[in-house]
Amino acid sequence: MESNFSESSMASPAAPLPRITLLTMIRLGLFQMGLGMMSVLLFGLLNRILIKELGVPGTIASIVLAVTLFVAPSRIWFGQLSDTRPLFGLHRTGYVILGSISFAIIAFLAVQPLWQMGLSLKSPGGWEAATVWIALSTFLFGLYGIAISASSTPFATLLVDITDEDQRSKVVAIDWAMLLMGTIAGGITIGVLLKTLGNDPTIEVLQASINRLFLIVPWVVVSLAVISTWGVEKKYSRFLHSPARQIAEEKMGLDRAWHILTASRQTRFFFTFLIAMTLGLFLQDAVLEPFGGDIFKLKAGETALLNVPYGVGTVIGILIAGFIISPRIGKKKTAQLGCQAVALTLLGIIFAGTTANPGTLKICLFLFGLASGTTTTGAITLMLDLTAAETAGTFIGAWGLAQALARGLSTIVGGSLLDIGGRIFVADGARSLLAYGLVFVAQAGCMMAAVVLLSRVNVQEFRTNAKENITAVIASGD
């Protein structure tokens, strides 16, 4: 009985609700594809423009954009809000669509101070004026991050609401594969819309082209969000048609939801696991392209292509894990297998550095992608299981907080480790393989720590604790 708490609390008192179809899973993935497109706009295109075209120091550019991740605590609030305060009669869909409209508007507004920032930096003594524009940009990108939280957290919770446990690995596989496809589609779209730019455009020309881009792509993403979610919650949501909905709306204030969230040690175990795992997946983000240049002597355009074998491997890994591995060995074992494989492939990347052979590096990056995809599928499907119907949004918000904070830290920590290694290990005036090896070894260490932490995660104990705490909240009355 207790082991099936999540399922029993989501059960409909009437006839069983239909199971989502493969076509619906793919349709839901359109929202994730849109988020992938927005990610390329911000962390790919704007990062390059800030540093190269506008002359903004890399540290400042990183801080301005990373603030979108560091406002992640708002995820818990939006998750809890979607549990208890329906919009237009639905608990998730309204937040997804309104959040998408909000980030589309804010994205355009957030870009505007960048042009004044660039003009100020090119003027003598312009740092004082630039500081004002930097502060304004940081504030607006913070609002953008909050809008992303307002849409993405209820969306992830929607996946919990509309699926049975045996479907979740497939849903995650399709949706997160489409997230990566969105980054590819975003890159192609950006290339087409900016093909008229020369090699050294003026700020005025750049402003016109980028503004046009931010008037088109975000609203395409809003359209994808509407298409993705329209009618899904009303037809498939177990939460919407269950007693858990009334309990959430009447009794689950933020203070009570927070108590349920923090009462179990399993929450702490899984939260820490997500941080270690995310660091283990993304510490290399800030160093991969310099690694290709310093160790393999690749040109700038060639290092950018290193993301291709990694991305292809990740998509394949996600799909194989979602449709084959996880249904056979379980979600937790899939995540453990993926973490161990990631650690091994990181050592393989170090080995590739000893050969200085780009072909060997690409093979190792493909294998790293396969392992990363397996880890992602196992961890996210397990994350969707570690919820309680009455507080699903709050739990999903907490798990999203762990991932976002670790993703932001990974860029800072990865770059810092490379700087430390670069001061210690130098060869022929450039960073040596040992400097990069320090980052990859630390990354592998994070993954092995994640394996240890995951071994302490117990879904049965989590559900038992959640049931006891929710029962206590109900018994306490208003």
Q: What is the pLDDT of residue 247?
A: 60
Which of these three, 214, 237, 260, is where a domain ends?
Answer: 237
272 and 188 within one domain: no
Give CA–CA dist 378/368, Å, rounded: 15
Q: Which residues, in sequence order, are bridge partners of residue 431? A: 426
Secondary structure of the chain in HEC code, one letter for each residue = CHHHHHHHHHCCCCCCCCCCCHHHHHHHHHHHHHHHHHHHHHHHHHHHHHHHHCCCCHHHHHHHHHHHHHCCCHHHHHHHHHHHCCECCECCHHHHHHHHHHHHHHHHHHHHHHHHHHHHHCCCCCHHHHHHHHHHHHHHHHHHHHHHHHHHHHHHHHHHHHCCHHHHHHHHHHHHHHHHHHHHHHHHHHHHHCCCCCCCCCHHHHHHHHHHHHHHHHHHHHHHHHHHHCCHHHHHCCCCCCHHHHHHHHHCCHHHHHHHHHHCHHHHHHHHHHHHHHHHHHHHHHCHHHHHHHHHCCCHHHHHCCHHHHHHHHHHHHHHHHHHHHHHHCHHHHHHHHHHHHHHHHHHHHHHHHHCCHHHHHHHHHHHHHHHHHHHHHHHHHHHHCCCHHHHHHHHHHHHHHHHHHHHHHHHHHHHHHHHHHHHCEECCEECHHHHHHHHHHHHHHHHHHHHHHHCCCHHHHHHHHHHHHHHHHHHCC
398 and 265 within one domain: yes
Which residue's entry shows tokens 């900016």?
194
Number of domains in the chain: 2
Give CA–CA dist 330/350, Å, rounded: 31
Give CA–CA dist 340/343, Å, rounded: 5
Give CA–CA dist 448/427, Å, rounded: 30
429 and 299 within one domain: yes
Give CA–CA dist 131/337, Å, rounded: 47
283 and 191 within one domain: no
Asked whether residue 8 is assigned to any structural domain, the reply reads no
Kindly tell me the sign of the dihedral angle through the C-alpha atoms of 260, 261, 263, 264: positive
Task: Kindly tell me the burial class for residue 346, based on how many C-beta atoms sit within 10 Å of its own C-beta (0-12, 13-18, 19 or more).
Answer: buried
Asked whether residue 50 is assigned to any structural domain, the reply reads yes
65-77, pLDDT tens digit by residue? 888 888 988 998 8
Q: What is the pLDDT of residue 9?
A: 44
Q: What is the pLDDT of residue 281?
A: 93
194 and 279 within one domain: no
Asked whether residue 12 is assigned to any structural domain, the reply reads no
**CATH number (domain holding residue 185):** 1.20.1250.20
Which of these three, 191, 217, 237, is where a domain ends?
Answer: 237
218 and 79 within one domain: yes
Asked whether residue 273 is assigned to any structural domain, the reply reads yes
The boundaries of the domain holding residue 44 are 18-237
216 and 157 within one domain: yes
Residues of the chain with pLDDT below 50 are 1-13
Asked whether residue 414 is assigned to any structural domain, the reply reads yes
Task: Kindly tell me the burial class for residue 87, based on how many C-beta atoms sit within 10 Å of its own C-beta (0-12, 13-18, 19 or more).
Answer: middle
Asked whether residue 242 is assigned to any structural domain, the reply reads no
260-315, pLDDT tens digit by residue? 777 778 888 999 999 999 999 998 877 887 888 888 888 755 776 787 888 889 99
Give CA–CA dist 314/321, Å, rounded: 10
128 and 51 within one domain: yes
Which of these three, 237, 264, 288, is where a domain ends?
Answer: 237
251 and 228 within one domain: no
Give residue 275's identity as a one-letter amino acid code: I
Measured between alpha carbons, how far is residue 154 from residues 221, 400, 418, 473 in Å? Answer: 16, 11, 37, 23
217 and 143 within one domain: yes
Give CA–CA dist 245/243, Å, rounded: 5
Q: What is the pLDDT of residue 245?
A: 56
Q: What is the pLDDT of residue 102?
A: 97
Task: Kindly tell me the burial class for residue 359, based on how many C-beta atoms sit within 10 Å of its own C-beta (0-12, 13-18, 19 or more).
Answer: exposed
Q: What is the pLDDT of residue 285?
A: 79
226 and 116 within one domain: yes
Asked whether residue 343 is assigned to any structural domain, the reply reads yes
Within 13 Å of residue 206, how many CA atoms lie on the same side as its CB?
20
Q: Which residues, in sequence order, are bridge partners of residue 259? A: none
Write the CB contacts of 389 (distance below 8 Å, at least 6 apart in sequence).
Answer: 6, 9, 10, 238, 239, 242, 244, 248
Asked whether residue 3 is assigned to any structural domain, the reply reads no
Structure tokens at 434: 């040992």
Give CA–CA dist 290/81, Å, rounded: 43
Q: What is the pLDDT of residue 286?
A: 73
255 and 194 within one domain: no
